[in-house]
Protein backbone atom coordinates (compact mmCIF):
# COMPACT_ATOMS: atom_id res chain seq x y z
CA UNK A 1 0.00 0.00 0.00
CA UNK A 2 2.98 2.28 -0.64
CA UNK A 3 1.07 4.79 -2.78
CA UNK A 4 -1.80 5.18 -0.37
CA UNK A 5 -2.69 8.77 0.33
CA UNK A 6 -4.29 9.68 3.63
CA UNK A 7 -6.57 12.71 3.69
CA UNK A 8 -7.56 14.06 7.09
CA UNK A 9 -10.91 15.72 7.74
CA UNK A 10 -11.68 16.06 4.06
CA UNK A 11 -14.84 17.91 3.19
CA UNK A 12 -17.79 15.60 2.56
CA UNK A 13 -19.49 15.56 -0.81
CA UNK A 14 -22.19 18.22 -0.94
CA UNK A 15 -25.60 17.52 -2.51
CA UNK A 16 -24.43 19.68 -5.44
CA UNK A 17 -21.32 17.50 -5.79
CA UNK A 18 -23.49 14.42 -5.81
CA UNK A 19 -25.83 15.86 -8.39
CA UNK A 20 -22.93 16.85 -10.63
CA UNK A 21 -21.85 13.28 -11.19
CA UNK A 22 -25.33 11.82 -11.50
CA UNK A 23 -26.03 10.91 -15.08
CA UNK A 24 -28.06 7.83 -15.87
CA UNK A 25 -27.80 8.59 -19.56
CA UNK A 26 -24.05 8.24 -19.29
CA UNK A 27 -24.48 4.81 -17.70
CA UNK A 28 -26.84 3.70 -20.46
CA UNK A 29 -24.43 5.02 -23.07
CA UNK A 30 -21.50 3.21 -21.52
CA UNK A 31 -23.50 0.01 -21.29
CA UNK A 32 -24.63 0.23 -24.91
CA UNK A 33 -21.08 0.92 -26.02
CA UNK A 34 -19.92 -2.38 -24.52
CA UNK A 35 -22.56 -4.56 -26.05
CA UNK A 36 -21.56 -6.96 -28.78
CA UNK A 37 -22.38 -5.78 -32.23
CA UNK A 38 -25.51 -7.42 -33.47
CA UNK A 39 -23.65 -9.42 -36.14
CA UNK A 40 -21.77 -11.34 -33.46
CA UNK A 41 -24.83 -12.49 -31.57
CA UNK A 42 -26.70 -15.77 -31.85
CA UNK A 43 -29.79 -13.76 -32.64
CA UNK A 44 -27.98 -12.49 -35.71
CA UNK A 45 -27.22 -15.95 -37.04
CA UNK A 46 -30.82 -17.00 -36.51
CA UNK A 47 -31.97 -13.83 -38.22
CA UNK A 48 -29.64 -14.51 -41.12
CA UNK A 49 -31.08 -18.00 -41.49
CA UNK A 50 -34.65 -16.71 -41.38
CA UNK A 51 -33.84 -13.75 -43.59
CA UNK A 52 -32.11 -16.05 -46.06
CA UNK A 53 -35.32 -18.04 -46.38
CA UNK A 54 -37.42 -14.94 -46.73
CA UNK A 55 -35.10 -13.51 -49.35
CA UNK A 56 -35.34 -16.70 -51.37
CA UNK A 57 -39.14 -16.60 -51.22
CA UNK A 58 -39.19 -12.86 -51.83
CA UNK A 59 -36.88 -13.18 -54.80
CA UNK A 60 -39.31 -15.58 -56.42
CA UNK A 61 -42.29 -13.25 -56.09
CA UNK A 62 -40.37 -10.07 -56.77
CA UNK A 63 -38.43 -11.24 -59.77
CA UNK A 64 -39.83 -8.27 -61.70
CA UNK A 65 -39.09 -5.79 -58.93
CA UNK A 66 -37.97 -2.30 -59.89
CA UNK A 67 -34.99 -0.30 -58.66
CA UNK A 68 -35.32 0.33 -54.90
CA UNK A 69 -36.62 3.75 -53.83
CA UNK A 70 -34.25 6.38 -52.52
CA UNK A 71 -35.43 5.70 -48.99
CA UNK A 72 -34.45 2.05 -49.32
CA UNK A 73 -31.13 2.60 -51.08
CA UNK A 74 -28.40 2.11 -48.51
CA UNK A 75 -26.31 5.19 -47.86
CA UNK A 76 -22.76 5.22 -46.52
CA UNK A 77 -22.43 5.36 -42.74
CA UNK A 78 -20.51 8.62 -43.06
CA UNK A 79 -22.53 10.38 -45.71
CA UNK A 80 -21.33 13.92 -46.52
CA UNK A 81 -23.89 16.31 -47.99
CA UNK A 82 -21.02 17.97 -49.84
CA UNK A 83 -18.47 15.22 -50.50
CA UNK A 84 -16.15 17.49 -52.46
CA UNK A 85 -15.70 19.86 -49.49
CA UNK A 86 -13.24 18.84 -46.80
CA UNK A 87 -14.98 20.82 -44.05
CA UNK A 88 -12.50 22.81 -41.90
CA UNK A 89 -9.64 20.54 -42.93
CA UNK A 90 -6.01 21.26 -41.98
CA UNK A 91 -2.81 19.28 -42.34
CA UNK A 92 0.36 19.41 -40.26
CA UNK A 93 3.68 17.76 -40.95
CA UNK A 94 5.17 16.12 -37.89
CA UNK A 95 8.51 14.43 -37.35
CA UNK A 96 7.43 11.08 -35.90
CA UNK A 97 10.60 10.75 -33.81
CA UNK A 98 10.23 14.16 -32.19
CA UNK A 99 6.50 14.85 -32.06
CA UNK A 100 5.41 18.42 -31.39
CA UNK A 101 2.52 20.71 -30.54
CA UNK A 102 0.36 22.10 -33.34
CA UNK A 103 -2.26 24.81 -33.30
CA UNK A 104 -5.50 24.79 -35.22
CA UNK A 105 -6.78 28.13 -36.48
CA UNK A 106 -9.13 28.63 -33.53
CA UNK A 107 -6.53 27.94 -30.82
CA UNK A 108 -7.15 24.21 -30.35
CA UNK A 109 -3.94 22.28 -29.71
CA UNK A 110 -2.73 18.88 -30.84
CA UNK A 111 0.09 17.50 -28.71
CA UNK A 112 1.94 14.68 -30.41
CA UNK A 113 4.46 12.82 -28.23
CA UNK A 114 7.56 11.30 -29.74
CA UNK A 115 7.05 7.88 -31.29
CA UNK A 116 3.27 8.31 -31.50
CA UNK A 117 2.77 6.49 -34.79
CA UNK A 118 2.71 2.85 -35.84
CA UNK A 119 2.27 1.46 -39.33
CA UNK A 120 -0.42 -1.09 -40.22
CA UNK A 121 1.84 -3.92 -38.98
CA UNK A 122 2.42 -2.25 -35.64
CA UNK A 123 5.97 -1.11 -36.39
CA UNK A 124 7.16 2.33 -35.22
CA UNK A 125 7.11 4.97 -37.94
CA UNK A 126 10.02 7.34 -38.53
CA UNK A 127 10.37 10.44 -40.66
CA UNK A 128 7.69 12.96 -41.50
CA UNK A 129 4.04 12.10 -41.03
CA UNK A 130 1.07 14.04 -42.34
CA UNK A 131 -1.42 14.75 -39.58
CA UNK A 132 -4.86 15.67 -40.87
CA UNK A 133 -7.13 17.45 -38.44
CA UNK A 134 -10.52 19.12 -38.52
CA UNK A 135 -13.23 20.22 -36.12
CA UNK A 136 -16.98 20.37 -36.37
CA UNK A 137 -18.76 22.87 -34.20
CA UNK A 138 -22.21 23.39 -35.62
CA UNK A 139 -24.97 21.44 -37.36
CA UNK A 140 -23.87 22.70 -40.78
CA UNK A 141 -20.31 21.38 -40.31
CA UNK A 142 -21.76 18.05 -39.27
CA UNK A 143 -24.32 17.90 -42.08
CA UNK A 144 -21.81 18.85 -44.76
CA UNK A 145 -19.29 16.30 -43.44
CA UNK A 146 -22.01 13.65 -43.07
CA UNK A 147 -21.16 12.57 -39.55
CA UNK A 148 -23.86 10.33 -38.08
CA UNK A 149 -25.53 12.00 -35.13
CA UNK A 150 -27.70 9.19 -33.87
CA UNK A 151 -26.60 7.03 -31.03
CA UNK A 152 -28.00 3.67 -30.09
CA UNK A 153 -28.16 3.78 -26.31
CA UNK A 154 -29.38 0.50 -24.84
CA UNK A 155 -31.63 -0.11 -27.83
CA UNK A 156 -33.00 3.43 -27.90
CA UNK A 157 -32.12 5.86 -30.63
CA UNK A 158 -30.74 9.10 -29.25
CA UNK A 159 -29.58 12.26 -31.01
CA UNK A 160 -26.46 14.18 -30.19
CA UNK A 161 -26.19 17.72 -28.95
CA UNK A 162 -22.57 18.69 -29.45
CA UNK A 163 -19.93 20.62 -27.55
CA UNK A 164 -17.59 19.99 -30.47
CA UNK A 165 -16.19 17.18 -32.53
CA UNK A 166 -12.80 16.42 -34.04
CA UNK A 167 -11.39 14.16 -36.71
CA UNK A 168 -7.72 13.23 -36.52
CA UNK A 169 -5.90 10.90 -38.91
CA UNK A 170 -2.24 10.36 -39.79
CA UNK A 171 -0.72 9.34 -43.09
CA UNK A 172 2.65 8.37 -44.48
CA UNK A 173 3.27 7.67 -48.15
CA UNK A 174 -0.47 7.62 -48.68
CA UNK A 175 -1.00 4.89 -46.07
CA UNK A 176 -3.08 5.42 -42.92
CA UNK A 177 -1.22 5.03 -39.63
CA UNK A 178 -2.24 3.90 -36.16
CA UNK A 179 -1.66 5.54 -32.79
CA UNK A 180 1.01 3.93 -30.65
CA UNK A 181 -1.09 2.90 -27.62
CA UNK A 182 1.75 3.76 -25.25
CA UNK A 183 2.07 7.28 -26.68
CA UNK A 184 -1.44 8.68 -27.10
CA UNK A 185 -1.97 12.04 -28.77
CA UNK A 186 -3.67 14.74 -26.73
CA UNK A 187 -6.07 17.17 -28.36
CA UNK A 188 -7.27 20.28 -26.54
CA UNK A 189 -10.29 21.38 -28.53
CA UNK A 190 -11.75 24.85 -28.12
CA UNK A 191 -15.42 24.44 -27.21
CA UNK A 192 -18.29 26.93 -27.35
CA UNK A 193 -19.80 25.71 -24.09
CA UNK A 194 -18.62 25.11 -20.55
CA UNK A 195 -21.63 22.96 -19.61
CA UNK A 196 -20.81 19.73 -17.79
CA UNK A 197 -23.41 17.43 -19.29
CA UNK A 198 -21.30 16.10 -22.19
CA UNK A 199 -19.59 12.75 -22.62
CA UNK A 200 -16.70 11.73 -24.85
CA UNK A 201 -17.58 9.27 -27.64
CA UNK A 202 -15.51 7.66 -30.37
CA UNK A 203 -17.09 6.84 -33.71
CA UNK A 204 -16.66 3.11 -34.26
CA UNK A 205 -17.11 2.82 -38.02
CA UNK A 206 -16.99 -1.00 -37.88
CA UNK A 207 -19.83 -1.29 -35.37
CA UNK A 208 -21.54 1.73 -36.90
CA UNK A 209 -22.19 3.30 -33.56
CA UNK A 210 -20.60 5.76 -31.20
CA UNK A 211 -18.64 4.18 -28.39
CA UNK A 212 -18.95 5.83 -24.98
CA UNK A 213 -15.46 6.65 -23.64
CA UNK A 214 -15.86 8.75 -20.52
CA UNK A 215 -17.63 11.65 -18.93
CA UNK A 216 -16.27 14.92 -20.27
CA UNK A 217 -15.13 17.83 -18.14
CA UNK A 218 -14.71 21.28 -19.63
CA UNK A 219 -11.45 23.04 -18.84
CA UNK A 220 -11.61 26.81 -18.55
CA UNK A 221 -8.24 28.32 -19.43
CA UNK A 222 -7.31 31.95 -19.25
CA UNK A 223 -5.43 32.71 -22.44
CA UNK A 224 -3.04 35.64 -22.25
CA UNK A 225 -3.89 38.46 -24.63
CA UNK A 226 -0.53 38.33 -26.39
CA UNK A 227 -0.48 34.58 -26.81
CA UNK A 228 -0.73 33.11 -30.29
CA UNK A 229 -4.20 31.56 -29.89
CA UNK A 230 -5.63 34.85 -28.57
CA UNK A 231 -4.07 36.74 -31.46
CA UNK A 232 -5.29 34.17 -33.94
CA UNK A 233 -8.78 34.28 -32.46
CA UNK A 234 -8.77 38.09 -32.51
CA UNK A 235 -7.70 38.11 -36.15
CA UNK A 236 -10.44 35.66 -37.00
CA UNK A 237 -13.07 37.89 -35.41
CA UNK A 238 -12.39 40.45 -38.17
CA UNK A 239 -13.97 39.84 -41.52
CA UNK A 240 -11.20 39.22 -44.08
CA UNK A 241 -11.05 41.35 -47.20
CA UNK A 242 -11.29 39.70 -50.56
CA UNK A 243 -7.99 39.95 -52.41
CA UNK A 244 -7.84 41.83 -55.70
CA UNK A 245 -5.76 40.70 -58.65
CA UNK A 246 -3.00 43.08 -59.78
CA UNK A 247 -3.70 44.99 -62.98
CA UNK A 248 -0.52 44.78 -65.12
CA UNK A 249 -1.43 48.08 -66.83
CA UNK A 250 -1.29 50.06 -63.59
CA UNK A 251 1.86 51.15 -61.76
CA UNK A 252 2.56 49.17 -58.61
CA UNK A 253 5.36 48.62 -56.13
CA UNK A 254 6.31 46.43 -53.20
CA UNK A 255 6.94 47.69 -49.65
CA UNK A 256 7.78 45.49 -46.67
CA UNK A 257 5.08 46.02 -44.03
CA UNK A 258 4.89 44.97 -40.40
CA UNK A 259 2.54 41.94 -40.28
CA UNK A 260 1.53 42.79 -36.71
CA UNK A 261 0.35 46.22 -37.84
CA UNK A 262 -1.30 45.02 -41.05
CA UNK A 263 -2.43 41.43 -40.34
CA UNK A 264 -4.85 41.58 -43.27
CA UNK A 265 -1.81 41.76 -45.60
CA UNK A 266 0.21 39.13 -43.79
CA UNK A 267 -2.36 36.54 -44.84
CA UNK A 268 -1.32 36.63 -48.51
CA UNK A 269 1.83 36.12 -50.56
CA UNK A 270 2.70 38.33 -53.55
CA UNK A 271 1.20 41.54 -52.14
CA UNK A 272 1.86 44.68 -54.22
CA UNK A 273 0.53 48.21 -53.91
CA UNK A 274 -1.22 49.47 -57.00
CA UNK A 275 -1.48 53.22 -57.43
CA UNK A 276 -4.92 54.74 -57.90
CA UNK A 277 -3.80 56.94 -60.79
CA UNK A 278 -7.20 58.65 -61.08
CA UNK A 279 -6.99 60.06 -57.58
CA UNK A 280 -3.23 60.48 -57.17
CA UNK A 281 -1.35 61.14 -60.44
CA UNK A 282 1.81 59.14 -60.80
CA UNK A 283 4.99 60.07 -62.64
CA UNK A 284 6.86 56.96 -63.90
CA UNK A 285 10.15 58.79 -63.29
CA UNK A 286 9.51 58.39 -59.55
CA UNK A 287 10.11 54.67 -59.86
CA UNK A 288 13.81 55.33 -60.44
CA UNK A 289 14.24 57.32 -57.19
CA UNK A 290 15.84 55.66 -54.18
CA UNK A 291 13.70 56.94 -51.30
CA UNK A 292 14.94 57.67 -47.77
CA UNK A 293 11.78 56.45 -46.12
CA UNK A 294 8.23 55.32 -46.80
CA UNK A 295 5.17 55.32 -44.58
CA UNK A 296 1.96 53.42 -45.05
CA UNK A 297 -1.36 54.06 -43.38
CA UNK A 298 -4.81 52.54 -43.73
CA UNK A 299 -6.96 54.91 -45.74
CA UNK A 300 -10.39 53.33 -45.82
CA UNK A 301 -12.10 49.98 -45.39
CA UNK A 302 -11.00 47.25 -47.75
CA UNK A 303 -7.39 47.04 -48.82
CA UNK A 304 -6.98 50.78 -49.47
CA UNK A 305 -3.90 52.55 -48.09
CA UNK A 306 -2.05 55.80 -48.28
CA UNK A 307 1.69 55.54 -48.95
CA UNK A 308 4.04 58.47 -48.46
CA UNK A 309 7.60 58.50 -49.82
CA UNK A 310 10.28 60.80 -48.41
CA UNK A 311 13.61 61.97 -49.86
CA UNK A 312 15.08 65.01 -48.13
CA UNK A 313 12.41 67.68 -48.67
CA UNK A 314 10.68 65.80 -51.42
CA UNK A 315 7.42 64.16 -50.31
CA UNK A 316 5.05 62.16 -52.51
CA UNK A 317 1.78 60.71 -51.33
CA UNK A 318 -0.25 58.05 -53.18
CA UNK A 319 -3.54 56.36 -52.69
CA UNK A 320 -2.92 52.66 -53.31
CA UNK A 321 -4.76 49.32 -53.31
CA UNK A 322 -3.16 46.19 -51.97
CA UNK A 323 -3.33 43.66 -54.79
CA UNK A 324 -1.98 40.18 -55.37
CA UNK A 325 0.33 39.39 -58.25
CA UNK A 326 -0.90 36.92 -60.84
CA UNK A 327 1.35 34.08 -59.64
CA UNK A 328 -0.11 34.09 -56.15
CA UNK A 329 -3.69 35.14 -56.83
CA UNK A 330 -5.29 31.69 -56.98
CA UNK A 331 -3.67 30.66 -53.72
CA UNK A 332 -4.73 33.95 -52.11
CA UNK A 333 -8.37 33.32 -53.10
CA UNK A 334 -8.24 29.89 -51.46
CA UNK A 335 -6.77 31.38 -48.31
CA UNK A 336 -9.45 34.03 -48.33
CA UNK A 337 -12.20 31.42 -48.68
CA UNK A 338 -10.80 29.43 -45.74
CA UNK A 339 -10.37 32.48 -43.58
CA UNK A 340 -13.83 33.73 -44.45
CA UNK A 341 -15.28 30.34 -43.52
CA UNK A 342 -13.41 30.46 -40.22
CA UNK A 343 -14.66 33.98 -39.57
CA UNK A 344 -18.28 33.02 -40.26
CA UNK A 345 -17.76 29.99 -38.08
CA UNK A 346 -16.69 32.04 -35.11
CA UNK A 347 -19.48 34.55 -35.62
CA UNK A 348 -22.01 31.80 -35.74
CA UNK A 349 -20.55 29.95 -32.77
CA UNK A 350 -20.72 33.13 -30.74
CA UNK A 351 -24.32 33.83 -31.78
CA UNK A 352 -25.30 30.24 -31.11
CA UNK A 353 -23.77 30.39 -27.68
CA UNK A 354 -25.54 33.64 -26.80
CA UNK A 355 -28.81 32.47 -28.22
CA UNK A 356 -28.59 29.09 -26.54
CA UNK A 357 -27.91 30.60 -23.16
CA UNK A 358 -30.63 33.20 -23.42
CA UNK A 359 -33.18 30.71 -24.75
CA UNK A 360 -32.37 28.23 -22.01
CA UNK A 361 -32.71 30.82 -19.29
CA UNK A 362 -35.95 32.11 -20.72
CA UNK A 363 -37.27 28.57 -20.92
CA UNK A 364 -36.35 27.97 -17.29
CA UNK A 365 -38.11 31.15 -16.23
CA UNK A 366 -41.18 30.38 -18.34
CA UNK A 367 -41.62 27.05 -16.63
CA UNK A 368 -41.59 28.53 -13.14
CA UNK A 369 -44.54 29.95 -11.29
CA UNK A 370 -44.10 32.78 -8.77
CA UNK A 371 -43.22 30.52 -5.84
CA UNK A 372 -40.72 28.53 -7.77
CA UNK A 373 -39.05 31.68 -9.03
CA UNK A 374 -38.70 32.84 -5.43
CA UNK A 375 -37.37 29.46 -4.34
CA UNK A 376 -34.93 29.24 -7.20
CA UNK A 377 -33.99 32.87 -7.24
CA UNK A 378 -30.61 32.36 -5.64
CA UNK A 379 -29.73 29.52 -7.97
CA UNK A 380 -30.84 31.52 -10.98
CA UNK A 381 -28.85 34.52 -9.86
CA UNK A 382 -25.78 32.33 -9.50
CA UNK A 383 -26.35 30.80 -12.90
CA UNK A 384 -26.77 34.20 -14.49
CA UNK A 385 -23.68 35.53 -12.76
CA UNK A 386 -21.73 32.55 -13.99
CA UNK A 387 -22.96 33.10 -17.52
CA UNK A 388 -22.17 36.80 -17.33
CA UNK A 389 -18.66 35.95 -16.17
CA UNK A 390 -18.27 33.53 -19.02
CA UNK A 391 -19.49 36.06 -21.55
CA UNK A 392 -17.49 39.02 -20.38
CA UNK A 393 -14.09 37.44 -19.86
CA UNK A 394 -13.32 37.00 -23.49
CA UNK A 395 -9.83 35.77 -22.67
CA UNK A 396 -11.27 32.70 -20.93
CA UNK A 397 -11.32 29.81 -23.35
CA UNK A 398 -13.17 26.54 -22.79
CA UNK A 399 -11.21 23.46 -23.81
CA UNK A 400 -12.25 19.84 -24.01
CA UNK A 401 -9.48 17.29 -23.92
CA UNK A 402 -9.40 14.12 -25.99
CA UNK A 403 -6.77 11.48 -25.33
CA UNK A 404 -6.47 9.92 -28.76
CA UNK A 405 -5.68 6.22 -28.70
CA UNK A 406 -7.34 5.55 -32.05
CA UNK A 407 -7.47 7.75 -35.12
CA UNK A 408 -10.89 8.78 -36.35
CA UNK A 409 -13.77 10.92 -35.14
CA UNK A 410 -14.23 11.87 -31.49
CA UNK A 411 -16.90 14.04 -29.97
CA UNK A 412 -17.93 15.70 -26.76
CA UNK A 413 -21.66 15.23 -27.01
CA UNK A 414 -24.84 14.73 -25.07
CA UNK A 415 -27.40 12.15 -26.21
CA UNK A 416 -30.91 13.55 -26.14
CA UNK A 417 -34.40 12.58 -27.25
CA UNK A 418 -36.29 14.05 -30.18
CA UNK A 419 -37.83 17.46 -29.51
CA UNK A 420 -41.22 17.49 -27.80
CA UNK A 421 -44.17 19.43 -29.11
CA UNK A 422 -45.87 19.06 -32.45
CA UNK A 423 -46.22 15.69 -34.16
CA UNK A 424 -47.27 15.64 -37.80
CA UNK A 425 -47.29 13.52 -40.93
CA UNK A 426 -44.86 15.14 -43.34
CA UNK A 427 -44.70 15.04 -47.12
CA UNK A 428 -41.63 16.48 -48.78
CA UNK A 429 -41.89 18.13 -52.17
CA UNK A 430 -39.60 20.12 -54.40
CA UNK A 431 -40.68 23.75 -53.97
CA UNK A 432 -39.78 24.52 -57.58
CA UNK A 433 -42.03 21.95 -59.30
CA UNK A 434 -44.26 20.49 -56.56
CA UNK A 435 -43.03 16.95 -57.24
CA UNK A 436 -42.56 14.54 -54.37
CA UNK A 437 -39.00 14.57 -53.09
CA UNK A 438 -37.67 11.14 -52.19
CA UNK A 439 -34.99 11.25 -49.51
CA UNK A 440 -33.16 8.72 -47.39
CA UNK A 441 -33.02 10.83 -44.26
CA UNK A 442 -33.61 14.38 -43.15
CA UNK A 443 -32.04 16.49 -40.44
CA UNK A 444 -33.98 18.75 -38.12
CA UNK A 445 -31.92 21.59 -36.67
CA UNK A 446 -32.99 23.81 -33.80
CA UNK A 447 -31.06 27.04 -34.13
CA UNK A 448 -30.80 27.62 -30.38
CA UNK A 449 -29.31 24.17 -29.71
CA UNK A 450 -26.15 22.75 -31.15
CA UNK A 451 -28.02 19.58 -32.01
CA UNK A 452 -29.03 17.77 -35.16
CA UNK A 453 -31.99 15.35 -35.13
CA UNK A 454 -32.04 12.64 -37.74
CA UNK A 455 -35.27 11.30 -39.23
CA UNK A 456 -35.33 8.44 -41.70
CA UNK A 457 -37.88 8.39 -44.49
CA UNK A 458 -40.14 6.02 -42.58
CA UNK A 459 -40.14 8.38 -39.57
CA UNK A 460 -41.80 11.14 -41.54
CA UNK A 461 -45.19 9.73 -40.62
CA UNK A 462 -44.48 10.83 -37.07
CA UNK A 463 -42.29 13.88 -37.42
CA UNK A 464 -41.82 15.69 -34.13
CA UNK A 465 -40.57 19.22 -33.63
CA UNK A 466 -40.82 22.02 -31.10
CA UNK A 467 -43.02 24.74 -32.64
CA UNK A 468 -41.62 27.30 -30.15
CA UNK A 469 -38.06 26.77 -31.38
CA UNK A 470 -36.48 28.20 -34.50
CA UNK A 471 -36.33 25.12 -36.71
CA UNK A 472 -34.73 24.28 -40.01
CA UNK A 473 -34.74 21.09 -42.02
CA UNK A 474 -31.94 19.93 -44.31
CA UNK A 475 -31.56 16.89 -46.50
CA UNK A 476 -29.82 15.46 -49.53
CA UNK A 477 -32.11 14.39 -52.35
CA UNK A 478 -31.87 11.16 -54.32
CA UNK A 479 -29.92 13.15 -56.92
CA UNK A 480 -27.42 14.23 -54.25
CA UNK A 481 -28.62 17.82 -54.16
CA UNK A 482 -28.91 19.77 -50.94
CA UNK A 483 -32.44 20.84 -50.02
CA UNK A 484 -33.64 23.06 -47.19
CA UNK A 485 -36.85 24.03 -45.44
CA UNK A 486 -36.24 27.30 -43.64
CA UNK A 487 -37.34 28.55 -40.23
CA UNK A 488 -39.85 31.09 -41.58
CA UNK A 489 -41.56 28.25 -43.46
CA UNK A 490 -41.72 26.22 -40.26
CA UNK A 491 -43.52 29.12 -38.64
CA UNK A 492 -46.18 29.02 -41.32
CA UNK A 493 -47.10 25.39 -40.60
CA UNK A 494 -50.73 25.08 -39.54
CA UNK A 495 -50.30 23.38 -36.15
CA UNK A 496 -54.00 22.52 -35.93
CA UNK A 497 -53.58 19.98 -38.73
CA UNK A 498 -52.03 16.56 -38.49
CA UNK A 499 -50.37 16.67 -41.90
CA UNK A 500 -48.11 19.13 -43.63
CA UNK A 501 -46.32 19.38 -46.94
CA UNK A 502 -42.82 20.81 -46.71
CA UNK A 503 -41.90 22.54 -49.95
CA UNK A 504 -38.14 22.36 -49.99
CA UNK A 505 -35.73 24.65 -51.76
CA UNK A 506 -33.40 22.42 -53.77
CA UNK A 507 -30.10 23.75 -55.06
CA UNK A 508 -28.10 22.58 -58.06
CA UNK A 509 -25.12 24.55 -56.92
CA UNK A 510 -21.76 22.87 -56.33
CA UNK A 511 -20.46 24.86 -53.38
CA UNK A 512 -16.80 25.77 -53.69
CA UNK A 513 -16.23 26.33 -49.98
CA UNK A 514 -17.88 25.76 -46.61
CA UNK A 515 -18.87 29.40 -46.13
CA UNK A 516 -20.85 29.35 -49.35
CA UNK A 517 -22.65 26.17 -48.32
CA UNK A 518 -23.41 27.59 -44.90
CA UNK A 519 -24.86 30.72 -46.44
CA UNK A 520 -27.32 28.53 -48.36
CA UNK A 521 -28.15 26.57 -45.22
CA UNK A 522 -28.71 29.91 -43.49
CA UNK A 523 -26.66 29.17 -40.43
Partner 1 sequence: MPYANASFMTVESKYHATQEQILNESDEIAAAQKDPVKFEPLYNRYYSRILGFVYQRTDSKEDTYDITAQVFINALESLKKYKHQGLPFSAWLFRIAANELNKSFRKNKVRQAVNIDDEQVSDILLEIGEETTADTDARLMNVLKQLEPEELQLVEMRFFEKRAFKEISEILGINEAAVKARLYRLLERMKHMITKLQ
Q: Which positions touch partner 1 (CB under 8 A)?
A: 1-10, 13, 17-18, 20-24, 26-28, 30-32, 34, 154-156, 214-215, 217
Q: Could you tell me whether strands 90-95 and 451-456 are parallel, antiparallel, or unpaired per DSSP bridges? A: unpaired
Q: Smallest distance, Å, CB 151 to partner 1?
A: 14
User: How far apart (Å, rounded) are the C-alpha atoms in residues 420 and 464?
Assistant: 7
Q: Smallest distance, Å, CB 15 to partner 1?
A: 9
Q: Smallest distance, Å, CB 184 to partner 1?
A: 14
User: How far apart (Å, rounded) are the C-alpha atoms in residues 357 and 380?
Assistant: 13
Nearer to partner 1, 8 or 367 (CB): 8
Closest-CA residue to 336 (of 514, 82, 143): 514
* DSSP structure string for 34-102: HSPPGGGSHHHHHHHHHHHHHHHHHHHHTTT--PPPTTTS---SS--SSTT--TT-EEEEEETTT-EEE
User: How far apart (Å, rounded) are the C-alpha atoms in residues 3 and 249?
Assistant: 77
Nearer to partner 1, 25 or 325 (CB): 25
Q: Smallest distance, Å, CB 448 to partner 1?
A: 27
Q: Smallest distance, Å, CB 201 to partner 1?
A: 14
Mention every residue, 6+ apart, whose C-beta is less than 8 A from residue 420: 464, 466
Q: Smallest distance, Å, CB 22 to partner 1?
A: 6
Q: Smallest distance, Å, CB 163 to partner 1?
A: 17
User: How far apart (Å, rounded) are the C-alpha atoms in residues 72 and 70?
Assistant: 5
Nearer to partner 1, 12 or 120 (CB): 12
Mention every residue, 6+ apart, whose C-beta is less than 8 A from residue 363: none
Nearer to partner 1, 102 or 212 (CB): 212
CB atoms under 10 Å from CB of 430, counted, come to: 16
Nearer to partner 1, 34 or 64 (CB): 34
Nearer to partner 1, 9 or 290 (CB): 9
Nearer to partner 1, 23 or 331 (CB): 23
User: How far apart (Å, rounded) are the C-alpha atoms in residues 395 and 108?
Assistant: 14
Nearer to partner 1, 13 or 289 (CB): 13
Q: Smallest distance, Å, CB 38 to partner 1?
A: 16
Q: Could you tell me whether strands 252-253 and 271-275 are parallel, antiparallel, or unpaired per DSSP bridges? A: antiparallel
Nearer to partner 1, 37 or 124 (CB): 37
Q: Smallest distance, Å, CB 221 to partner 1?
A: 17
Nearer to partner 1, 215 or 350 (CB): 215
Decide: 160 and 151 in contact? Cβ < 8 Å.
yes
Q: Smallest distance, Å, CB 461 to partner 1?
A: 24
DSSP state of 245: B
Q: What angle, rounded to 10 degrees, do the helices at 370-392 and 326-367 form? A: 160
Name the β-bridge partners of 117: 179
User: How far apart (Å, rounded) are the C-alpha atoms in residues 491 and 25?
Assistant: 32
Nearer to partner 1, 52 or 181 (CB): 181
Closest-CA residue to 162 (of 114, 125, 113, 201): 201
Decide: 486 and 521 in contact? Cβ < 8 Å.
no
Decide: 251 and 284 in contact? Cβ < 8 Å.
yes
Q: Smallest distance, Å, CB 34 to partner 1?
A: 6
Amino acid sequence: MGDLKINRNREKLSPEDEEKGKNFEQVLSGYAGRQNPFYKTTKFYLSVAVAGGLIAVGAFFLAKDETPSVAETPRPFIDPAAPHLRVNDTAFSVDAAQGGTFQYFNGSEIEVPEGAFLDKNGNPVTGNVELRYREFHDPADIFLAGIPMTYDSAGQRRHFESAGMIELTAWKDGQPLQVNPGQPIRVKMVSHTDEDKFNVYYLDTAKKNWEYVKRDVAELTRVEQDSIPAQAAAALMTEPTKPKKANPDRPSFVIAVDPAEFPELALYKGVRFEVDVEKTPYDPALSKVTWDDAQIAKHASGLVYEVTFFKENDVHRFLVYAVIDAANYEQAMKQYADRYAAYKELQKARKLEEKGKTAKLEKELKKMDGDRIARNFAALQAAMASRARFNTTSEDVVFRVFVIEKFGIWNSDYPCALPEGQEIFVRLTNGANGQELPVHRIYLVEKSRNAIFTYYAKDLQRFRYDPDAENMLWCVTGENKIAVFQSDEFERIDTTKKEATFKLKVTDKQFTNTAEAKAFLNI
